[in-house]
Amino acid sequence: MNVRRFETPAAVAKKLAEYAPRKCSNLLDPSVGGGALIAPLVKRIQREDIAVYCIDVDAEAILDLKNNFIREKNFSPKCINEDFLRWANLRRRPRFDCIVMNPPFAAAQTSLRREQICEINLGSSYASKAMPVEAAFVCRAIDLLTDDGRLLAVLPTSIVMSESLEWIRSYMLELGAIRSVHELPAGTFPNVESRMYLLVFDKGAKQRKITLFNHDLNEPHKMDLMIKPGELLGRLDYGYNHSKKVAEQLINRREALNWQKLADIVSIKRGNVKSPITASDVIHTCDFEHGYWRRPRPYRLEGSWKRIDSIRKTDILLQRVGRGCYQRVGRYASSSQARISDCMFVLRPKKQESFYEILFALKVMTRFRWLKPLLERGTGANYISIRSAGDLFLPMGLSKSYPAAFDAFVLGDKQRSGNWQKFANSVAKDLATVLA
Ligand SMILES: C[S@@+](CC[C@H](N)C(=O)[O-])C[C@H]1O[C@@H](n2cnc3c(N)ncnc32)[C@H](O)[C@@H]1O
């Protein structure tokens, strides 16, 4: 496997080849590399007269492809050393029954992030749109499919779950059917932190559900995501949708707990001090200890800052970035004023008297590991968006249902006795029994 080129491991390519269409006379890999992805597909289709097109912008990759596969029976592709996005714009290019691809993706490479301007099909016309390179590959590939062609793709999280690319998921649904999305095991691609997915798309088809698979390649868990007409298509990853179902179960079974959406009970604001942080009056991700956010040492406020940015006693801070950030939530416990880093959210209760109800509910809910995929998103570096935080449902009636634990939690916090967390744990444990 060529690690530098992020080539697809054989087991993954074999899995994707299982979705080969029944009919296929024209096949394309627009970012072929050394051919690891397309080779098992060609073998599976087994047609003498199949026309195979292989494109790669890297001349060395095309050479590797020729060296690796050209002598194989049934595999004498047309090799094109070109930028696929340019090639796809040519007037006279063929259309394909099947396109298989593991395209380059932007991730942290800002150069690839926004620079692609790609036309998208609006039915009777086309519109130009700026998008990351992986989205441009998807749009162009769909364009090049025959009216009932199939796309088999290895794709990063951006296409499957990002808010900024929500439009592309809806776009795909307008033009066809997303049959399945299969999460690949973590670390499938060496040196790639992002989770990767296999996606099967049939152009021109209609659908009522998408089958989602978890990260087991051979015996995955699966669930059906029902499509509701007119509703935006949110995230397509198994982890998120499974957790959403668990949360719904809990809410239905403990309806009396007065569940409320976080966005309805607090204002959510991102801190406004840009990292890296050098000032000593700023609360940053390293300032979380024993469930509290605090300044570790006495300090002086540096420079000028606006009072409006100052923190209140009833503000709750939630870390916004980093692995496991969903559990780094708590109140600010130092007495001195501070500013907030942009790696944090400030949750400010709309009614100050609800402060302890909200804090307790957050401490209870973040005990559940299944909450993580509901809150965190990411392509390697995890983050929480304002929307995913705001969409979280909290049980605001815990003080009535668990008065002893709630009162002990509040007292423990006021006395800074350090053992208040166990009261949140005991409530979480009790709630978990309704899910068993
Ligand atoms: C992730 S690798 C995939 C290689 C192979 N298809 C596989 O799955 O093992 C992506 C390939 O895309 C090629 N590539 C990057 N940008 C491209 C572009 N604009 N047009 C065509 N190929 C491109 C790279 O040279 C690289 O070989």
Supply the CATH number for residue 335's domain: 3.90.220.20
Instruction: Give how far Cα 114 sits from Cα of 65, 89, 132, 238, Å.
Output: 30, 18, 5, 27
Where among 212, 236, 260 does a domain terminate?
A: 236
Confidence of residue 302 (pLDDT cuts 50, 70, 90): low
Q: Ligand 1: which atom is nearest the Cα of residue 32?
A: 6
Q: What is the pLDDT of residue 43?
A: 86
Could you give the number of structural domains in the chain?
Answer: 2
Q: What is the pLDDT of residue 305?
A: 46
In a domain, 89, yes or no: yes
Contact 104, 58 (CB under 8 A): no
pLDDT tens column, 98-150: 999 999 987 655 555 556 787 787 777 788 888 999 999 999 999 999 999 99
DSSP category for residue 308? G
Compute, in angstroms, the gap from residue 3 CA to the centroid of ligand 1: 12
Establish whether residue 41 lines the binding site of ligand 1, counting it when its CB lies within 6 angstroms of any ligand atom. no
pLDDT tens column, 367-402: 999 999 999 987 567 899 999 999 999 999 999 999
Kindly state whether residues 393 and 293 are assigned to the same domain. yes
Kindly state whether residues 203 and 274 are assigned to the same domain. no
Confidence of residue 355 (pLDDT cuts 50, 70, 90): very high
Kindly state whether residues 269 and 130 are assigned to the same domain. no
What is the distance between the alpha carbons of residues 81 and 59, in angstroms, rounded to a whole number?
Answer: 6
Kindly state whether residues 339 and 429 are assigned to the same domain. yes
Kindly state whether residues 117 and 165 are assigned to the same domain. yes
Is 253's pLDDT higher than 90? Answer: yes
pLDDT tens column, 205-228: 998 999 999 988 889 999 999 998
The CATH number for 152's domain is 3.40.50.150
Look up the domain containing 98 and give its range. Answer: 10-236
Kindly state whether residues 31 and 148 are assigned to the same domain. yes
- Taking residues 68-89, report their average pLDDT: 84
* High-pLDDT (> 90) share of the chain, %: 64
Which residue lies with its CA nearest to atom 1 of ligand 1?
6
Kindly state whether residues 225 and 274 are assigned to the same domain. no
User: Going by C-beta distance under 8 Å and a sequence separation of 6 or more, which residues neighbour residue 195?
Assistant: 156, 157, 183, 184, 186, 215, 237, 379
Q: What is the pLDDT of residue 224?
A: 97
Kindly state whether residues 263 and 371 are assigned to the same domain. yes
Kindly state whether residues 143 and 196 are assigned to the same domain. yes
Number of H helices, E strands in the chain: 16, 23
- Taking residues 313-326, report their average pLDDT: 93
At residue 81, the 3 state secondary structure works out as: strand
CB atoms under 10 Å from CB of 327, counted, come to: 19
Kindly state whether residues 295 and 173 are assigned to the same domain. no
Compute, in angstroms, the gap from residue 242 CA to the centroid of ligand 1: 32
User: Going by C-beta distance under 8 Å and a sequence separation of 6 or more, which residues neighbour residue 3?
Assistant: 190, 191
Compute, in angstroms, the gap from residue 217 CA to the centroid of ligand 1: 23
Q: What is the pLDDT of residue 231?
A: 74
* High-pLDDT (> 70) share of the chain, %: 92
Which residue lies with its CA nearest to atom 27 of ligand 1?
33
Confidence of residue 416 (pLDDT cuts 50, 70, 90): confident
Kindly state whether residues 218 and 262 are assigned to the same domain. no
Q: What is the pLDDT of residue 382?
A: 84
Q: What is the DSSP string of 241-299?
A: HHHHHHHHHHHHHTGGG-EEEHHHHEEEEE--BPSSP--TTEE-GGGEETTEE--SS--
In a domain, 342, yes or no: yes
Establish whether residue 84 lines the binding site of ligand 1, counting it when its CB lies within 6 angstroms of any ligand atom. yes
In a domain, 2, yes or no: no
Q: Ligand 1: which atom is nearest the Cα of residue 83?
A: 20
Q: What is the pLDDT of residue 379?
A: 58
Kindly state whether residues 80 and 218 are assigned to the same domain. yes
First-to-last alpha carbon distance for the chain, in angstroms, is 43
Establish whether residue 19 lines the binding site of ligand 1, counting it when its CB lies within 6 angstroms of any ligand atom. no
- Taking residues 77-84, report their average pLDDT: 94
Establish whether residue 83 lines the binding site of ligand 1, counting it when its CB lies within 6 angstroms of any ligand atom. yes
Q: What is the pLDDT of residue 286?
A: 87
Where among 207, 236, 265 does a domain terminate?
A: 236
Q: What is the pLDDT of residue 182?
A: 97
Confidence of residue 342 (pLDDT cuts 50, 70, 90): very high
In a domain, 320, yes or no: yes
Where among 178, 207, 236 does a domain terminate?
A: 236
CB atoms under 10 Å from CB of 168, counted, come to: 24
Establish whether residue 56 lines the binding site of ligand 1, counting it when its CB lies within 6 angstroms of any ligand atom. yes
Establish whether residue 134 lines the binding site of ligand 1, counting it when its CB lies within 6 angstroms of any ligand atom. no
In a domain, 244, yes or no: no
What is the distance between the alpha carbons of residues 349 and 268, in angstroms, rounded to a whole number?
Answer: 9
Is 297's pLDDT higher than 80? Answer: no
Q: What is the pLDDT of residue 280?
A: 73
Q: What is the pLDDT of residue 334?
A: 84
> In the predicted model, what is the mean pLDDT of the chain?
89
